[in-house]
Chain A
Amino acid sequence: MAETIATPDTLAIYVHWPFCRSLCPYCDFNSHVSDHVDHARWRAALLRELEHYAELAGPRRVTSIFFGGGTPSLMAPDTAAAVIEAVAHHFILDEDIEITLEANPTSVESAHLAAFAGAGINRVSLGIQALDDAALAFLGRTHSAEEAITAIEVAAHTFERYSFDLIYARPGQSVDQWRRELEQAIGRTRGHISVYQLTVERGTPFYLAQARGDLVLPDDPVLAALFETTQEVLADAGMPAYEISNHAAPGQACRHNLAYWQYSDYAGIGPGAHGRITAAGRIHATRQHRAPEIWLHRVEDHGHATQTNEPLEPQSVVAELVLMGLRLRCGIDAANFRARAGMALDEAFDPVTLRRLEEGRLIVHNSDGLRATPSGRQRLDSVVAALVV
């Protein structure tokens, strides 16, 4: 039987801004297009929901705030400022707090980056996606490669820390082409980059196109080669993967995302935001209402738009710890596992499965903890399934 879980003293805060200028055909995030966003109402609502979660979480030291989307760079910079101030009011701010804004690299948004810096943002993550105009058009992006590069330059001027996202494994993409694009991108980095393989999600236009046969992604051997090339090229550039898709120079990892992967507590506010909050000895999974208008009305009426807030069963906690922790190069720390799962690592898994995975050099299991080898990380979905299914 699992023990009760001690409430951690830290908290990460995620703030969701659900609006975008236009929708990208691959995207299944909670994103919407709206031309009449009442910024004052939205600001007030975000502040109210934050207050609600401040009460639930109790006194904590906040280590990171992340404005994600949607396109939070379309927020009024005042809103970001107000949220950051309110966090400081409800909680203690860690002296090293990381406050990230996701930003789209259009010229309009680049022009606002300085105002966001003034609001308290100290890191940006730019959705560059590709450095090639044809690829950007295919991805339905509204910016050009040139605009994207300008945005990186502005970010580099304005912030000490910045990162950007790329999407690869696009139709027809070859290993050589990708290597060149990646090398070009490396020249623009400052210690951090995220590279995602294009994933076709249900409910997106790409899903339909793929079903009809109009969209054909590279086949398995090419996907594997693209993944391996990414690992190799970025490691050579001094930014090895610290997580499946995230690469950083030493000390430059995104603290907010580490909170997810290490399965620390985080509060999620805004439409569709998820959270994991420890209270009364259990870890609770929270989710806010997804639809922007309903979320807004609920918050205005009730102070929050929580749709779920339920304690997780011990085996769900184990599954989540493994699901997230093995994505990290450093893996799952034995002490952290015990603290969060309320049981020892060795108690949580079938010894025969562990041994088989170890013999296959897919995982390393010792008294420090459990981690996936590079080969195991490349096949992580199956490794995780073997462990927890």
Chain B
Amino acid sequence: MTDLSHIRNFAIIAHIDHGKSTLADRLIQHCGGLSEREMHDQVLDSMELERERGITIKAQTVRLMYSARDGATYALNLIDTPGHVDFSYEVSRSLAACEGSLLIVDASQGVEAQTLANAYLAIDAGHEIVPVLNKIDLPAAEPQQVREQIEEVIGLDASEAVEISAKTGAGIEDVLEALVARLPAPEGEADTPLQALLVDSWYDPYLGVVALVRIKNGRISKGQRIRMMATDKAYRVDRVGVFTPARTEIDALGPGEIGFITASIRAVADCQVGDTVTDDRMPVEAPLSGFKPSVPVVFCSLFPADAAAFEDLRESLAKLHLNDASFHFDPENSAALGVGFRCGFLGLLHMEIVQERLAREFDLELIATAPSVIYQIHLTDGTSIDLHNPSDFPDVTRIRNIDEPWIKANIIVPDEYLGAILQLCTDRRGEQIDLTYVGGRAMATYRLPLNEVVFDFYDRLKSISRGYASFDYELESYRQGDLVKVDILINGDPVDALSMIVHRGQSEARGRALCVRLKELVPRQLFKVAIQAVIGGKVIARETVGAMRKDVTSKCYGGDITRKRKLLEKQKAGKKRMRQYGNVEIPQSAFIAALRMDDN
């Protein structure tokens, strides 16, 4: 165990792509955590998805030993955090395990929306913050200007900001010295009952649940009986260790330290991130304050493509949830797509990542419905319901009014794209609150209905600005909206998975677009197929797929009937994926394709 005064716990925070993970690489290298041979770029981004997309999704903790210029050796616990707004739950949990933060700003880009948001999270967590100007090797770097921005926009003193290049390694020792000198050491008592914060957890097929903990008081050692305070479950610790970044077992963790434990925990639900771990025989009185529960803002339904995989999906969701407590899931039943789950996420990227992780880490083929937000529906009998699934929409005669969530969004964009971005906001029913200039770029603050944002807003923003606009938002309030539920009917029968709640002004266009798209996707049948978009009983769009005109193999196969029969048998296997609508059968794949196209 390390003396408290020689421990520094810090998170690396920044806007997406400003170089957090690359700086972590240099710090690991400088402190000899990995050999030259073991090193590669963004070594902490170990998930396949992180490597493919070049972004951090999960925060990672590393223990490094640094011999400082003052002659002492410090134990540094570094947490590399994700930069994207959808993963800010990872950031806030990481902040709770540390006393300080390195705020990285790309000196060629300057302060971006997420720099601001994360800096405020760190300030609210009571952190000491060391600003770091990265990428000074780039010709476009303007460290002086960026220092001014930091002071102007965030209000932090940037006079002692460290200038570095995480790429070339310039200034790395300055960062290490600054954090040893400027960040506070943790506080805590070694000889009191154990009190540790469960910061993160994941499932390992061999070890069971692995829990990342920050010891506040007391110590945790191998063989000790511990208790999870929220679930009141006791376990015997069988491993204690740290990541250097290799998983390294040690005997015990003391106050101020961050490390992992395993305790042969198989029941995933027993381990809740934010819980307090204490000693089974000498428990502390009160748990730590834990984490604010995450508030999902975007919902969609997930169905297994193969109905038989429903139980697999349930189990996989539980395991993934251990590693990402910020998404929510509840069972759901759809006539078109079978049994599945209604899931809530912190944003669209989060939704996409969870789907991808389920597909890859658990080998599941999934179907996802279009994203929706939470509406507050006020009924004529005076009661209200929160609704995020269009299929739970009550009868319109029972509805007095509907409120929808609005966000306050900050968009930072180079001047030349401002006009187009303002137009986009206006088209999405946005209201301008503020428009200011920060070092040559515009910062537009808008109020926007969230349901306009979940529908391809981010993609549009990026394409309009050629990737230069950055965007951050927070939920602000609920406001009354003229919202309607649009249903899609096939030969008169509703396709529940395609229902959507939209603003009346857009209902016709969206309904028509979906009908047109389905018309392309529904194969011609023996009978004609009517595709309609309706609001209540009123048809707002209609398309028809004509009956097929010819479908017969005319070539003769002589006596080889087997071949034709085998073809039929294949079709029979495919029939499981068909759904009956009136007198026609529509392949489930048509609905899936319609849902997928929604992504674009």
List A residues at the B interface (Cβ < 8 Å).
14, 68, 194-197, 199, 220-221, 223-224, 227, 244-246, 257, 260, 266, 268, 273-276, 285, 287, 316, 319-320, 323-324, 356-357, 359-360, 362, 377-386, 388-389
Contacts and interface: CB of A to CB of B under 8 A. Distances in A.
Contacts of A195: 554
A320 B567 CA distance: 12
B492 to A, nearest CB: 15
B53 interface: no
Contact of A196 (B549, B555, B564, B572): B555
Contact of B559 (A221, A260, A323, A356): A260
Nearest to A387: B568
The 3 closest A-B pairs by CB, nearest first: A224-B549, A224-B550, A197-B554
Q: Which of B549, B554, B564, B568 has the most CB of A within 10 A?
A: B554
B10 to A, nearest CB: 58
Interface residues of B, number: 25
6 contacts: A195-B554, A274-B559, A276-B559, A378-B549, A380-B552, A382-B526
A75 B481 CA distance: 83
Contacts of B559: 14, 260, 266, 268, 273-276
A385 B552 CA distance: 11
Given A227-B554, A274-B561, 8 more contacts: A275-B559, A276-B559, A319-B565, A362-B526, A379-B548, A380-B552, A385-B571, A389-B575
Interface in B521-538: 525-527
Contacts of A287: 562
Given A14-B558, A196-B556, A379 B550 contact: yes
Given A199-B554, A276-B561, A382 B525 contact: yes
Interface of B: 525-527, 548-556, 558-562, 564-565, 568-569, 571-572, 575, 583
Contact of B561 (A273, A324, A381, A389): A324
Contacts, number: 98
Contacts of B560: 274
B571 A260 contact: no
A244 B555 CA distance: 9
A275 B572 CA distance: 24
Contact of A244 (B526, B549, B552): B552
A360 B527 contact: yes
A251 B581 CA distance: 45
A319 B570 CA distance: 13
A323 B569 CA distance: 12
A151 B526 CA distance: 42
A25 B562 CA distance: 24
Contacts of A260: 558-559, 561
A316 B565 contact: yes
Contacts of B552: 227, 244, 377-381
Nearest to B572: A389
A324 B565 CA distance: 10
A159 to B, nearest CB: 20
B551 to A, nearest CB: 5
A163 B179 CA distance: 95
A319 B571 CA distance: 13
B569 to A, nearest CB: 8
A62 to B, nearest CB: 15
Given A220-B550, A380-B551, A382-B525, A323 B561 contact: yes
Contacts of B555: 196-197, 199, 245
Given A356-B583, A379-B526, A389-B568, A194 B556 contact: yes
Given A223-B550, A224-B550, A320 B526 contact: no
Contacts of B575: 389
Contacts of B551: 378-382
A288 to B, nearest CB: 11
A280 B554 CA distance: 34
Contacts of A380: 551-552
A174 B215 CA distance: 82
A344 B586 CA distance: 30
A244 B562 contact: no
Contacts of A384: 568
A199 B553 contact: yes
A115 to B, nearest CB: 25
A245 B568 contact: no
Contacts of A257: 556
B526 A383 contact: yes
A352 to B, nearest CB: 9
B562 A323 contact: no
Contacts of B565: 316, 319-320, 323
Contacts of A324: 561
Given A362-B526, A378-B549, A389-B568, A196 B562 contact: no
A245 B558 contact: no
Given A276-B561, A360-B526, A245 B554 contact: yes
Nearest to B561: A320
A227 B550 contact: yes
Contacts of B548: 220, 379, 382
Given A378-B550, A378-B552, A379-B552, A319 B568 contact: yes
A385 B561 contact: no
Given A274-B558, A320-B561, A388 B568 contact: yes
A273 B569 CA distance: 22
Contacts of B571: 385, 389
A268 B568 CA distance: 23
A206 to B, nearest CB: 12
Nearest to B575: A389
Nearest to A272: B560
B526 to A, nearest CB: 5
A239 to B, nearest CB: 16
A350 to B, nearest CB: 12
A357 B527 CA distance: 9
A163 to B, nearest CB: 12
Given A319-B568, A323-B564, A378-B549, A196 B554 contact: yes
Nearest to B553: A381
Q: Which of A195, A362, A378, A385 has the most CB of B within 10 A?
A: A385
Contacts of B526: 357, 360, 362, 379, 382-383, 386
Contacts of B525: 382
A357 B585 CA distance: 13
B138 to A, nearest CB: 46
Contacts of B558: 14, 68, 260, 274
Nearest to B559: A274
A244 B569 CA distance: 22
Nearest to A16: B558
A57 B564 CA distance: 24
A360 B491 CA distance: 15
A311 to B, nearest CB: 13
Contacts of B554: 195-197, 199, 227, 244-245
B524 to A, nearest CB: 8
Contacts of A316: 565
Nearest to A372: B552
Nearest to A285: B562
A163 B333 CA distance: 60
Contacts of A224: 549-550
A223 B583 CA distance: 26
A378 B560 CA distance: 21
A297 to B, nearest CB: 23
Contacts of B569: 319
Nearest to B527: A360
A363 B551 CA distance: 15
Contacts of A245: 554-556
A156 to B, nearest CB: 23
Nearest to B564: A323
A68 B560 CA distance: 13
A377 B551 CA distance: 9
A221 B549 contact: yes
Nearest to A227: B550
Nearest to B585: A386
B564 A274 contact: no
